[in-house]
Amino acid sequence: MALIEIKDLSLTYQSDKSSFDALNDINLQIEKGEFVCLIGPSGCGKSTLLGVLEGLLEPTRGQVFINDKEIHGPGSDRAVVFQNYSLFPWMTARKNVAFAIIESKRGTEKIKKADAYKIADEYLERVGLSEYKNKLPGELSGGMQQRVAIARALACNPEILLMDEPFGAIDAKTRDVLQQLLLRLWAEDKEKKTIVFVTHDLEEAIFLADKIVFMEPKGIKNIIDVRIERPRLKEKMLSNDRYRSLRSRLVKMFSNEDEEVVLTGGAGI
């Protein structure tokens, strides 16, 4: 049984004057512990699909199951990392993480503040920010803020990590560092998280993913198994025949989809 199962999923945005089909008859299975990247042209519905998995968007038709239970809203089994970090600017890095831990337990179990801070310290150490834990977000670089956001998500111990272009606003060098960090944290976890990661970056998708889901406007065009041995080093992957073949294939798919978006007037979602 797949951890995540999406069945015949459709979502239509409606207003008083018009409607727009963002997703149409999506079917997808994601196994426990898989790292899945969603890629595709702007407007194809990647972030919309992530919003449905998060539980913030209700499908017009179809269903999403996690552990064979249909979801109808957010849950503690899922955590989200956004591109814009979404940290509370008046809280230190440590308090941001501890607050998220406490909130994630609300309604299910109580956790003492001291224990939440202990967990926060552990995860800030894992992302290399121990000496910056008492800094406010405004005192941290963009890369450091995203490390805090990743620590915050992982510290809540979700089964599923949803990531919406988390490295999209970061410079190339820092992006490489954070990709390596994410893979290390994912591999080290005793109960490996299932990650669904939205990106526009082909190299990032190939480097990170077990499986790439290539989306076209409103649907899924192709599902590709990466099948490149882990652990992965970028300098070695560049000369890997499988990497070069996948990249060439994805570039061609993107070229075709870009033409279709222009022709159909696809809008960004």
129-179 residue pLDDT tens? 999 999 999 999 999 999 999 999 999 999 999 999 999 888 999 999 999
Last residue of a domain, one of 137, 157, 177: 157
- Confidence band, pLDDT 50/70/90 cuts, at residue 256: confident
Q: In angstroms, rounded to a whole number, what is the distance separating the alpha carbons of residues 99 and 2?
A: 31
- Residue 186 in any domain: the answer is yes
Check residue 234 and give its pLDDT.
86
Mean pLDDT of the chain: 91
217 and 121 both lie in a single domain? no
- Residue 7 in any domain: the answer is no
Check residue 30 and give its pLDDT.
98
117 and 232 both lie in a single domain? no
Domain hosting residue 110, numbered range: 85-157
Dump pLDDT digits (tens) for 176-189: 999 999 999 999 98
141 and 166 both lie in a single domain? no
Lowest mean pLDDT among 3-17, 209-223, 248-262: 248-262
Last residue of a domain, one of 131, 157, 183: 157
Total number of domains constituting the chain: 2
54 and 165 both lie in a single domain? yes
- Residue 252 in any domain: the answer is yes
Res. 261: pLDDT tops 70: no
53 and 165 both lie in a single domain? yes
Res. 268: pLDDT tops 60: no
199 and 269 both lie in a single domain? yes
Please tell me whether the peptide bond between 59 and the residue prior to it is cis, using omega within 30 degrees of 0: no
- Confidence band, pLDDT 50/70/90 cuts, at residue 269: very low
Q: In angstroms, rounded to a whole number, what is the distance separating the alpha carbons of residues 81 and 103?
A: 16
Instruction: Encode 73-108: b = buried (16+ Cβ within 10 Å), e = exposed.
Output: eebbbbbbbbbebebeeeebbbbbbbbbbbebbeee
CATH of the domain at 235: 3.40.50.300
Last residue of a domain, one of 111, 137, 157: 157
139 and 215 both lie in a single domain? no
Q: What number is the average pLDDT over the span 79-103?
A: 94
136 and 220 both lie in a single domain? no
Round the CA-based radius of gyration of the chain to a whole number and report it.
19
- Confidence band, pLDDT 50/70/90 cuts, at residue 257: low
Q: What number is the average pLDDT over the span 228-253?
A: 91
- Residue 26 in any domain: the answer is no
- Residue 23 in any domain: the answer is no
